[in-house]
Structure 1
Amino acid sequence: MTLSVTHSDATTQPARNLLPLWVGAGVYVLLLISGNRLLADTDTLWQITVGQWILDHHAVPETDVYSFTMRGQPWISTQWLAQVLYAKAYALAGWRGPVVLAASAIALTFALFVHALGKHLRESTTLLFATAALLLTLPHLLARPHVLAFPVLVTWIGGLIDAADRKDAPPLALTLLIALWANLHGGFVFGLFFIAPAALDALVNAEAAARRALALRWIVFALVALAASCLTPYGWNALLASQKILSLGAALPLIIEWTPANFGSLGPFEVCLLLAIGFALLNGIKLPPMRILMLLGLLHMALAQGRAVEILALVGPLVLAAPLARQMDGALAADPQGSHAISWRAAAAVVLVLAIGTVASATTLQFAPRMRGMPVAAVTELKKLNLARVLNDYDFGGYLIASGVAPFIDGRTELYGEKFFVDHNAASGLMEPDNLFRLLDEYQIEATFLRTQSAATKLLDHMDGWEKVYSDDIATIHLRKANARHSREPVIDPVAK
């Protein structure tokens, strides 16, 4: 009888340890099947263009070489390594390359995420957190640099939280991750900031006699991590560049992915948040003070900026896992005696099967950026005009860079600064019409390349000195022409009394 029970435990434990592999494989297959969704953002186009520039010049950019408004101004790319990886992937396999690269990074992220939670929580609870994280991150799962940094984010935060749970300091080897992160994406600054609450959590829960030595070890770790984050082609300027993004002020709420949360309609974020609140109230969940502060800080970020929802989704459960397992008295906890090591043989087998499947799917799954909403035909006409100074819509900037046309403005908002971006937004939307006229004259604009339905486009339709030379349902081109005259006045609907 004893032999039978022992054999049963031995055979079921490996199956349990395969959960991260199955989740990662499932996410990869899902993303590969819907691969065109990863290419839905025009930012992917200019990211690859910058990466190819780096490969061609064997250097990273120090000044702007793309726009005509900021050409020659200081600009660095803190995402240079991710851009190079995307450019290499595109050169090797066309659009399939960036799709596979992004899908692999996201799949690895969820495998690591499930593995970290599985140390504390049961499979059902872990899968619940993983499902919620996938739903919350889904809108921002795109072939852009930030997803290549996701595995680093999960591993780094997991390492800090694990050290805090052990009332210990993280190993210095972990700082290698922050060096990699600093070359992949500017979000590494969040990783540096998170050292402070993790250290405080460890110190608060440590024995009083051990706190002084532990504090010194955390300080050393923080200093080494800070130094490691400067191991980029730009040195400590990478930190300054991230600070420039965070100080864009009034410009950030005008960018969709930076807008605050809006609960005007029911969405995944609100559903997950309400379910979490309901679960906590029903079960009387209590968290240690520092974990409460961590969670509240993550929630504030997610409410203040839409793109921070993914941080809450991936970091929040790591913060909660150990306290939840302890408080729920085993109801949510994993077997404390069980091994949670992933079989490398099993991992290699899964990766091999996925690789074979990826190659085999080449004839059935074709990938290309979503052209709907992109000014493809309009750019073709614009290039025929051979103009140098064109006022473009903000959303068209990335496509213009990829097409070899110097934009007025594009997605590198930190390059243009708060005032420039806000002025352009007010001009194109006619919130301040004077801004439109000022920009047209100040930058000696030869033509405008704006969305057909924008307020500025409608106004130019009726302005002398501007001739509409091309228009479709996406973009309209107005050419500056001194003798252009318009006899028809815009229609003004009388206000109903």
Structure 2
Amino acid sequence: MGLRFRTTLGRWIVPSLADLLLAALVLRPYLFPGGLEELLSDASVGMHIRTGDLIRSTGSLPHTDPFSFALPGKEWFAWEWLTELGLSFVHSYFGLAAIALLAVAMMAGTSALVLRSSLRRGESALLGLMLAMAGFQASMNHALARPHLITWLLLAVSIAIVERERRAAWRGFWLLIPLAALWANLHGGFAIQPVYLAVVCTGMGIEALWNRSNWRGVWRMVACGLLVGAATLVNPYGIRLHQHLIEFVSSPWAIQMIEEYHPPSPTLGEQYYWFLALGTMAAMAAASALWRRRVSDALVCMFFLISASKSARHIPLFVIAATPILASELRCLWDAVRSRTGKRGTAEHIHKLDLGMQPQFSRHSVWLAACFVLVLLFRTPLGLPSNFPTKRFPVDLVAANREILRSGRVFSTDAWGDFLIYTGYPGQHVFIDGLQDFFGPALAEDYLEMLSAGPRTEALFQQWKFDTALVPARQPLAQWLKGRSNWRVVAETPLAILAVKEK
């Protein structure tokens, strides 16, 4: 008993090779000066923090928008209220540095789960590591300190649970149900869990018909999927939250307005080519799985690949779902290569090296978590971010003119609206912020018209009674404001201008 306890304790305390490589993989982009600031490139997390502050101070969820003056009285969904509470607590004690580190920790946890699932499916540490690295690179454009990282992590957890169930019936499989209820209060991406289960159920049903096998596993998956769907109703808004999400994601204007909902393109940079490579491999893996009558694997690969091909935002979800299947199919290909080259071939030597590495990849220790805690406690000498990056947000300009912004009817961009909410809370109100689902197509068209200084700009400024404007210096609206005799530029930097209307 004592020896077993010491062995288990040692497994948790002694760093593993998987820990070291995950640290190198996930932490590498953030070890350089300003690296962690890149996680704060989207200020919507600031708006989520202030929503959590509001919930804590009032003891209730807001039902109308507390930050925008554009649509007073319209129903507003705090659909990530539990995450917002958590962010508020973390921020109140440790500031934005902790939010950035928490984001890195969630990405590390997701990568660890994907690596473990790939190792179990492919039984190859080398394949698992290479695929995890490629997947992380393909997802880098979405590596931001935002609540969507929770969906990454919980999808990886759900897939690991389903994979365990498919190997043999497991009581822990039913943990997916309370996980769904929790997820529905953390992030709007909760819908991917029942959808994933539906895809798996469909594939398992076809496999059972094709192979004339036992249906017991299929019925367990169906029952769990139905209960998971019901569990997502356990949220403050019930079915209305689902209706709201469906209306938003099916709106053509939302897809047009939000860049990350556009299909992947070379404008993503290096990440696009990583996705292209993984997508090609996933299509081939789906064909291979179908040939081997693994219909469920083929459907999962193709569903998530098509989803990511339509929206760049779904690339990380594709990576999380498809990587273990890729590992399995590549392992079959590698075994075929080994059988042809013989026991003395290079492939066999690599296989033996791989087998020696697997024990170190089959466990994780508390080492990574301890590193995050130590960095958080000693954050000051390490120069962790205390504000949003100055190259993206007018930090100094806003700090110097906070009272002007708080007291005015401000026009600004949606991204800077989130930043103003964060810096001006309480009391700051904006025209539009990052919650595009709330504002609708009509107001979005007005917003884009004004930002581009279109022909209706003058009439719209009068209609909305703006008396303050904080806009990027390169936007056409900045030049429009400078050319109006009834507007005065109060402050200007290479990044932004602040103008007020003359009374």
Is the structural similarity TM-score above 0.5? yes
Indicate the larger mover: 283-292 or 153-162: 283-292
Partner of 1:292: 298
Q: What letter corresponds to residue 217 of structure 1 in structure 2?
A: R
Cα distance, 1:303 vs. partner? 2.3
Unaligned runs of 5+ in 2: 1-10, 339-350
Partner of 1:312 in structure 2? 318
Name which of 226, 230, 234 aligns with 2:229.
226
- Distance in 2 separating the partners of 1:22 and 1:127: 12
The 5 Å alignment of 1:413-424 reads: 413-424=436-447
Q: Equivalents in 1 of 2:242, 2:50: separation in Å?
A: 24
Match of residue 448 from structure 1:
469
**3-state DSSP of counterpart to 1:176:** helix
What pairs with 1:18-57 in structure 2 (closer than 5 Å)? 18-27=16-25, 29-30=27-28, 33=31, 34-57=35-58
Shift of 1:163: 4.1
Instruction: Specify the alignment match of 2:6 in structure 1.
Output: none
Moved more, 394-403 or 321-330: 321-330
**1:426 is matched by which residue type in structure 2?**
E
What is the Cα deviation at residue 198 of structure 1? 0.4
**Equivalent position amino acid for 2:417 in 1:** G
Report the 3-state secondary structure (helix = DSSP H, G, I; strand = E; otherwise coil) of the residue aligned with 1:55: helix
Amino acid at match of 2:317: I
Please report how far the alpha carbon of residue 36 of structure 1 lies from its aligned counterpart in structure 2 after TM superposition.
Answer: 2.3
Matched, 1:376 2:382: no
Choose the corresponding residue for 1:397, options 417, 421, 424: 417
Match of 1:98 in 2: 99
Aligned partner (choices 193, 196, 200) of residue 195 of structure 2:
193
Q: How many Å apart are 1:118 and its aligned residue?
A: 0.8
Q: 1:26/1:234 Cα in 2 relative to 1: closer, same or farther (>3 Å)?
A: farther
- Please tell me the residue identity of whatever aligns with 1:219: V
Asked whether the equivalents of residues 262 and 312 of structure 2 are also in contact (C-alpha less than 8 Å), the reply is yes
Pick which of 295-304 and 212-221 moved more. 212-221
Matches of 2:143 and 2:178, distance apart in 1: 25
Alignment of 1:114-263 (within 5 A): 114-121=115-122, 122-163=124-165, 171-206=173-208, 213-263=216-266
Distance 1:279 1:466, change over 3 A: closer
Residue 498 of structure 2 aligns with which residue?
477
Q: Percent identity?
A: 20
Mapped partners of 1:62, 1:325: distance in 2: 52
Is this contact kept in 1: 2:208–2:215, CA < 8 A?
no
Q: CA deviation at 1:231?
A: 2.1
1:367 paired with 2:369, answer no
Partner SS, residue 400 of structure 1: helix
Instruction: Give me the whole-angstrom Cα distance separating, in 2, the residues matched to 1:169 and 1:211.
Output: 19
Identify the residue that residue 346 of structure 2 maps to in structure 1.
Answer: none
Distance 1:265 1:88 in 2: 34
| Other structure's SS at 1:391 match | strand
Matched to 1:302, the amino acid is A
SS where residue 477 of structure 1 aligns?
A: strand
Q: Deviations over 1:344-382 (max 9, x none)?
A: xx6235534553455356522432221223123443436
For residues 380-429 of structure 1, give each alpha carbon's deviation from its aligned partner in whole angstroms, at most 9, with x where no partner exists: 43633764422222221101111232110010101101221133113211
The two structures have a TM-score, normalised by structure 2, of 0.81
The offset of 1:52, in angstroms, is 1.4
How far does residue 299 in structure 1 lie from its aligned partner after superposition? 2.1
Q: Which moved more, 1:317-326 or 1:198-207?
A: 317-326
Look up the SS of the partner of 2:384 in the other structure: coil
State the alpha-carbon separation in 2 of the partners of residues 365 and 212 from structure 1.
Answer: 57
Question: Partner of 1:433: helix, strand, or coil?
Answer: coil
CA distance, structure 2, for counterparts of residue 72 and residue 279 of structure 1: 47
Counterpart-to-counterpart distance in 2, 1:363 and 1:386: 33
CA, structure 1 residues 443+427, in 2 after alignment: closer, same or farther (shift >3 Å)?
same
Q: Distance in 2 between matches of 1:279 and 1:228?
A: 31
Q: 1:213 to 1:453 in 2, by over 3 A?
A: same
Deviation at 1:201, TM superposition (A): 1.5
How many Å separate the matches in 1 of 2:286 and 2:84? 46
1:425 and 2:425 matched? no
Q: Which residue of 2 aligns with 1:406?
A: 429
Length, aligned pairs only = 463
Paired residue secondary structure (1:119): helix
User: How far apart are residue 438 of structure 1 and its match?
Assistant: 3.4
- Consecutive unaligned residues of structure 1, counting only runs of 5 or more, are 1-12, 483-497
8 Å CA contact 1:119–1:340 kept in 2: the answer is no
1:449–1:351 distance in 2 versus 1, CA, 3 Å: closer
Q: 1:70 offset after TM fit, Å?
A: 2.2
AA matched with 1:107: A
Contact 2:44–2:418 under 8 Å retained in 1: yes
CA distance in 1, matches of 2:266, 2:99: 33
Amino acid at match of 2:109: L
467-476 or 75-84: bigger deviation: 467-476
Distance 1:313 1:191 in 2: 15
Aligned partners of 2:118 and 2:324 also within 8 Å: yes
Shift in Å, 1:21? 3.4
Q: Give the Cα separation in 2 of the matches to 1:330 and 1:446.
A: 71
Given the alignment of the two structures, is residue 467 of structure 1 paired with residue 475 of structure 2, yes or no?
Answer: no
User: Quick one: which amino acid aligns to residue 174 of structure 1?
Assistant: L
Aligned AA (1:36)? E
Contact kept, 8 Å, 1:285 with 1:327, in 2: the verdict is no
State the Cα distance separating 1:213 from its structure 2 match: 4.8
**C-alpha RMSD over aligned residues:** 3.5
Q: 1:341 to 1:477 in 2, by over 3 A?
A: closer
The structure-2 alpha-carbon separation of the partners of 1:393 and 1:25, relative to structure 1 and needing over 3 Å to count, comes to: closer
The residue that corresponds to 1:83 in the other structure is 84
The amino acid that maps onto 1:395 is A
Q: Report Cα offsets for 1:24-76 as digits up to 9, x if no partner.
A: 44456446633222222222221211121122222222221111112332111
Structure 2 CA distance for aligned equivalents of residues 291 and 49 of structure 1: 42
**In 2, distance between residues paired with 1:438 and 1:243?**
33
Deviation for aligned residue 1:132: 0.8
Deviations 1:106-149 (A, max 9, x none): 11111111111110221110011110111112221122111133
Report whether the alignment pairs 1:458 with 2:461: no
Equivalence map 1:345-356=2 (5 Å): 347-348=365-366, 351-352=369-370, 355-356=373-374
